Every structure is written in structure tokens, then in C-alpha cells.
Amino acid sequence: MNKLTQLLAEAVNSGANSRGRDALSQAILAYGSSTDDNLACTANIAVVQEEEYIGLGTASGRLLSGITNSAEGCAIPAELQESYPDLTQAEWDALLRVCTLLLTDLERTGS
């Protein structure tokens, strides 16, 4: 397990509470530094519990894995297609699938 994955897993294991959110913010900033993008990220994500699963989620309480799973099959955003004109829909779908799998790997069942 790499450093970021380990830190994220520890944050999830801290629970869907302020301790988990603090651990998540610290993990992101320790791995990626205090750039504006990383600070904005920490303000908008949290460790959340949705139904029986605890994992990385939005500040409003939605699991990121559910969002990426729902995005699978959606068209490539125009801005992304401009930056990567050779990106195929199949590759985009595969990228989202891997993201979903990585996010679900960090999840655990809650009590």
C-alpha cells in the first residue's frame, strides 16, 4: 500500500466524524502539500457514512464511489475531450471504473 492509500484508509477507519475529516485533510495535505487545489479539495470532501458504508465522500454526505459509479457511461466532458482528443469513450469508461474500484477499496461497513 502506498503512502496516500494508507493515509486515506486510516482516515476512513477514524470514522464519519470530525476525527475522520481531520485525518482526511491531513492525509491530502501531507501527500500533496498545501496548494490551493488541495486546500479546496479538503474543504469539499469528508469521511462519510452512506447507508452501511463508510468511505470518502462529498462534504454534503455522498460517497465518491457512488458518484464515479454513476458517471460510468457518461459522455467525455467537452473540456477533457479538447485536452485529450484521442481519448476514447471506452478509455474514459475504464478510467472511471478504476476510480470507482479504488474508492470502494477504501470503504468499510459501518456500525
Look at residue 62 and tell me whether its pLDDT is greater than 90: yes
Q: Is 16 left (phi over 0), alpha (psi -120 to 50) or beta?
A: beta
pLDDT tens track for 73-101: 999 999 999 999 999 999 999 999 999 99
Q: What is the pLDDT of residue 1?
A: 55
Rounded Cα–Cα distance for residues 91 and 93 (Å): 5
Three-state secondary structure call for residue 13: helix
- CA–CA gap between residue 111 and residue 92 (Å, rounded): 35
Q: What is the mean pLDDT of residues 58-85?
A: 96
Q: What span, in angstroms and rounded, lies between the C-alpha atoms of 51 and 94?
A: 26
As given in the structure block, the three cell numbers for residue 8 are 486515506
Each residue of 21-48: pLDDT tens digit? 999 999 999 999 999 999 999 999 999 9
* CA pair distance 27, 111, nearest whole angstrom: 24
SS3 label, residue 84:
coil
Residue 2, pLDDT > 80, answer: no
